[in-house]
Amino acid sequence: MTLSEFRARFPILARRVYVNTCSQGALSIDVDEAMRAYLDSWHESGSPWEMWVEQVERLRVRFAASIGADSDEVAVMPSASAGINAVASSLTFDTPRSHVVVGDFEFPTMAQAWMAQERRGATIRRAHAASTSPDTLPLDAYDAVIDERTLIVPAAHVCFRNGHKTDIAGLTRLAHDRGAYILLDDYQRTGSGPIDVHALGVDFMVTGCLKYLLAAAGIGFLYVRRDLIERFEPTVTGWFGRVNPFAFRIDALDWPAGASRFETGTPPVPNAYAALAALQLLERVGYEAVGQQVDHLVGRFAAAARDAGFVVRTPSAPERRGPLAVVQSVDGPALVSKLAARGIIASCRGNGLRIAFHAYNTDADVDAVLGALSAEWSLLDRISVEK
Ligand SMILES: Cc1ncc(COP(=O)(O)O)c(C=O)c1O
């Protein structure tokens, strides 16, 4: 499938410039049809649970393949937060190794889920961004706090606030050298290009479907490295975390050998329909092609925005940025409204305007956003007005 065939699958792109995939991916015809297929199956068959559960299993297989994992290393969760809490509930903090190292660029859940473990004995250590460069988080910041007391390092791949991409391979080596686990939060990257979790060496990874995976809210994934799975028995559990949920036992707690032991209740069936269709669509265009287009668009946008004198908070080095570029505004919400009036859908976090690209975006989208920003220059923080 070519990029323009891919783009044609998203009706909204005929009417709007859509650069808000960091919040919600655009709706494709494929996902629309899949959700209708779910409703049809409900209308037709009433309660086809076998078929519905089978759909979740197909999704598990497909998602695992898309990140270079095996399907029994993947748990299908209702959210990324549920995946993080499943890991947290599996750990014990009553040993000398009880520190959790949390960086400044984490999504709130990632900090909050671990702060909640302080009651169970965890100590939070912070890896801070440099005071002189508040939008960069170098490995040195982690190096200063990861030590023989560190149990786990939860880390976002791409920051939702400023687009900074952390060197996860380097951070994984650092954590492992000091005997700590690493939990990758890949939510702001998954679907925007290829990843191979085995090659990366992370211990755990969480992500979800509603952003660059181009599906709906209500579904996430937890990857657990094969050799770790059987070490963990989460205290947050339920019948879908059993060897055979349909054994309906209330007298025994057994643990499957695979990552499904981290699951809890009835799986998110409607979302599995949507997510499977979105994954199939992404496979047709190919993750390599997606990654190249995203990288091209972000690079082109960020370079032109810098040339225009705008304050681009996302690092300029290609290896330190993901699919999101953030430009500093003087009034983020007002700028988002002005862009919406010009047919451009974007979002902000504080005064950081978030411009996110997927492979369905084009050079014309980049130009449209740049043109609108130039027209709304009074709402932008600028390095030099003359430039
Ligand atoms: C980086 C990151 N992590 C985690 C989450 C939370 O995901 P969920 O709502 O599925 O728990 C988000 C959602 O925006 C995110 O951007």
pLDDT of 328 > 50? The answer is yes
> Would you state the pLDDT for residue 383?
80
Q: How far is residue 67's CA from residue 195's CA, in Å, rounded to a whole number?
A: 5
Indicate if ligand 1 lies below 6 Å from the C-beta of 31.
no
pLDDT of 385 > 50? The answer is no
Contacts for 308 with CB less than 8 Å, ≥ 6 apart: 370, 373, 374, 387
Tell me, in angstroms, the distance from the centre of ligand 1 to residue 385's CA. Answer: 36
Indicate if ligand 1 lies below 6 Å from the C-beta of 80.
yes
With beta carbons less than 8 A apart as the criterion, state whether 124 and 150 touch: no
Cα distance from N-terminal residue to C-terminal residue, the chain: 41
Q: How far is residue 270's CA from residue 35's CA, in Å, rounded to a whole number?
A: 7
> Given pLDDT bands bounded at 50, 70 and 90, which one contains residue 44?
very high
- pTM over cut 0.95: yes
Residues 181-202 pLDDT 10s = 999 999 999 999 999 999 999 9
Percent of the chain with pLDDT over 70: 99
Indicate if ligand 1 lies below 6 Å from the C-beta of 154.
no
Residues 198-254 pLDDT 10s = 999 999 999 999 999 999 999 999 999 999 999 999 999 999 999 999 999 999 999
Give the number of other Cβ atoms within 10 Å of residue 191's Cβ: 27
Indicate if ligand 1 lies below 6 Å from the C-beta of 268.
no
Tell me, in angstroms, the distance from the centre of ligand 1 to residue 349's CA. Answer: 14
Contacts for 39 with CB less than 8 Å, ≥ 6 apart: none
| Exposure on the CB side of residue 261, measured as CA atoms within 13 A | 21
Tell me, in angstroms, the distance from the centre of ligand 1 to residue 218's CA. Answer: 11
